[in-house]
Amino acid sequence: MGKEKKIQDSSSWYSFLRNIVDINLRLSYRNLRYIGTERIPKDGAVIFAPNHTGTLMDALVILAMNRKPKVFIARADIFKKPMLAKMFKFFKIMPIMRMRDGFEEVKKNNKTIETAVDVLKDRVPLCIFPEGTHQTKHSLLPLSKGIFRIALQAKELMPDTPLYIVPMGIRYGSFFRFRASARVIIGNPINVGEFIAQNEDKTPQELMNIMKKALEERMKESIFYIPNNEDYNAIKEICATVSETQIKNLDKKARKDKAVLTNVNNMAVKHIEKLKETDPDAADKIIALANEAYEIRKKKGISLKSVAQQSNLLQIILKLLLLAVTLPYTLLASIFVLPVTVLGNAICKKFKDKAFYNSVRYLMNLLLWPLLIIVYTIVAFVNMPYLWALVAVLAILPAPIIAHEIYRYTRLIVSDFELLFSKRLRVRYKEIVKIFFNK
């Protein structure tokens, strides 16, 4: 009998398909960046610990960070649908049960933990979303202890191998809009062996609690973190309102520093929290203004991007001219990609949780668009001269990207117009800026 294949083992088929998956993923975002990859330890085994906001896309974004194989652990309930279960297994994702699944189901985790430890012993990165479930908020849910149980057990079985938990913050420009921007911020790793050595007098439960607190703090530093309380929407509104001014106030060197720029929103959150302590009246006023602005903006359908950029009339007119000039091509692109759009929207409606929308759109572009390209290519070469058919096919290839970009562009122009002619809303934002910067 041959050697049993492990989940961490790669294959030529997996490697080939992963190239396609990674390329399609990068086309699914207008901008995808990884910041702080130099912090990932190279002298031992690593457990990646990202926040969880985007269902399947979170795993794919981490997977695409480099060409190294990775194994993932995700909550078991997402494996219930056969098609998704097969896809997850192909991407080396293992299920883990939670207490809400029932005590008998949780017993099955022993096998998952054993496999996870074996993965780490082979120096293959293991990725666990420690929140245990996802939420589409710039915040952090309480961390589960599964990641620490695996880390402690793995360290016990490989005492001479350094083991690290690496916090990661995935930041999306939008949780629900396809082809938004995405950033992955790698935080400072936790050396599991050092934590154990420094806390020899602690019980395993106490040790896990200490590691949990440390990881939580480091994850908050890596993500765009807003406390998940009654002020969440107001603080998010304030961050968007003041972000451009914050960047302008930075010195030239800081404006070129990616780490500083990605931390601008967290700087704003900390400023507001400090304001609550030092000047409660000002804090109450700015929160009230932000809540009012939030309600007006949502009612008018204005994007936070419009709030951050504050385009003037000339800029909006120039955007409209560009839209008009490119309309013939963008209209045709939208028509060609219509089957993907319609089917994707129909499937999205079956999900109550909008966090799955971008995963559905990703899969539609991965699976359906290549089939349509084959059909369009056959039709073109049958009905057109060779050179014209070739030009037509090449022009059609980027249609999904063009269609999404023109939709985004049009939506933002409408949003910019709404904000430009909403005097009441613009006044609120000016007042927010004035209080925030104490002008």
CA distance 339 to 400: 11
Lowest mean pLDDT among 144-153, 162-171, 230-239, 257-266: 257-266
> Which helix or strand (DSSP H or E) is residue 58 part of?
helix 56-63
105 — pLDDT class (breaks 50, 70, 90): low
CA distance 364 to 340: 6
Phi-psi sector, 179: left (phi>0), alpha (psi -120 to 50), beta: left
Mean pLDDT of the chain: 90
pLDDT beyond 50 at 26: yes
pLDDT at residue number 271: 95
| Selection from 128, 120, 118, 35 nearest residue 73 by Cα | 128
CA distance 70 to 364: 24
The pLDDT of 332-355, averaged and rounded, is 94
Lowest mean pLDDT among 74-78, 146-150, 191-195: 74-78
Q: Tell me whether residue 62 is exposed, middle or buried, using C-beta atoms within 10 angstroms of its C-beta: 0 to 12, 13 to 18, 19 or more.
A: buried
Q: The tokens of 156 are what?
A: 């016990």
Any bridge partners for residue 383, and if so which?
none
pLDDT beyond 90 at 117: no
CB atoms within 10 A of CB 58: 25
Q: The tokens of 199 are what?
A: 């806390």
The pLDDT of 338-351, averaged and rounded, is 94
The pLDDT of 397-402, averaged and rounded, is 94
pLDDT, tens only, 260-291:
778 899 999 999 999 999 999 999 999 999 99
397 — pLDDT class (breaks 50, 70, 90): very high
pLDDT beyond 80 at 424: yes
- Percent of the chain residues topping a pLDDT of 90: 72
Amino acid at 62: I
Q: Identify which has the larger pLDDT, 434 or 145.
A: 434
pLDDT beyond 50 at 255: yes
Return phi, psi of residue 365, to 5°: -70, -30
pLDDT, tens only, 50-86:
999 988 899 999 999 998 889 998 877 777 777 777 7
pLDDT at residue number 1: 44
CB atoms within 10 A of CB 253: 8
Q: Which residues contact 397 (CB under 8 A, 6 or more apart)?
A: 373
22 — pLDDT class (breaks 50, 70, 90): very high
Assigned CATH for 12-222: 3.40.1130.10
Give whole-number Cα distances, 233 to 120, 181, 312, 356, in Å.
40, 21, 25, 22
